């Protein structure tokens, strides 16, 4: 089992802050960087990297950052809600996951392929009957990417607070350095 090296209060807080920064910052940096390279530099990563170096991270990202719109947030929320409903209500065989560090074995349904097939089938039918523009995601990629990152950051924050305030199992909580 993982044994944290840090045991002092300040050291643990620094480790948590660094971990949170990496988890929260990685999607923002990599996905947004590739989006900006494609959108503003003709998909030339070297030109985008040179601009990042010359302008600095804040100047580079803040001037090119795609912003979420009400439509993109609503569309992404609809997507997340529809996928959660599919995973919850579609039938599937129950399967036990590998043991967690605390010794629990969680159950989950094997219905992901069914959910994917249903989603792709509904989208294909909607495009065929001209109810949905098949290029919708490509046309609104920037705002949708911003909405997805907003959702990601909110979810990371919720998980962090939940782990601190009310952990599921004390054996799986590695926040204090005590097991």
Looking at 25, 41, 65, the residue that finishes a domain is 65
Segments forming the whole domain that contains residue 43: 1-65
In a domain, 113, yes or no: yes
pTM of the model: 0.70
In a domain, 179, yes or no: no
In a domain, 140, yes or no: yes
> What is the chain written as a DSSP string?
----S--SHHHHHHHHHHHHHHHHHHHHHHHHHHHHHHHHHTT-HHHHHHHHHHHHHHHHHHHH-----HHHHHHHHHHHHHHHHHHHHS--EEEEPPPPTTS---EEEE-HHHHHHHHHHHHHHHHHTTSS-TTHHHHTHHHHHHHHHHHHHHHHHHHHHHHHHS-S-GGG--SSS--
Residue 150 has pLDDT above 70, yes or no: yes
Residue 148 has pLDDT above 60, yes or no: yes
């Amino acid at each position: 089992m993982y044994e944290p090296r840090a045991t002092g209060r300040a050291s643990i807080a620094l480790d948590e802050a660094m971990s949170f920064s990496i988890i929260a910052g990685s999607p923002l940096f990599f996905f947004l960087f590739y989006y900006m390279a494609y959108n503003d530099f003709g998909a030339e990563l070297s030109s985008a990297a040179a601009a990042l170096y010359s302008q600095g991270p804040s100047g580079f990202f803040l001037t090119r950052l795609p912003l979420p719109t009400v439509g993109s947030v609503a569309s992404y929320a609809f997507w997340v809600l529809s996928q959660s409903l599919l995973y919850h209500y579609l039938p599937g065989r129950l399967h036990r996951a590998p043991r967690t560090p605390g010794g629990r074995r969680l159950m989950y349904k094997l219905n992901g392929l069914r959910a994917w097939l249903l989603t792709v089938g509904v989208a294909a039918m909607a495009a065929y009957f001209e109810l949905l523009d098949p290029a919708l995601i490509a046309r609104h990629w920037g705002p949708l990417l911003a909405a997805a990152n907003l959702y990601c950051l909110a979810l990371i924050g919720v998980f962090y607070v939940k782990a601190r305030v009310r952990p599921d199992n004390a054996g799986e909580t590695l926040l204090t350095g005590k097991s």
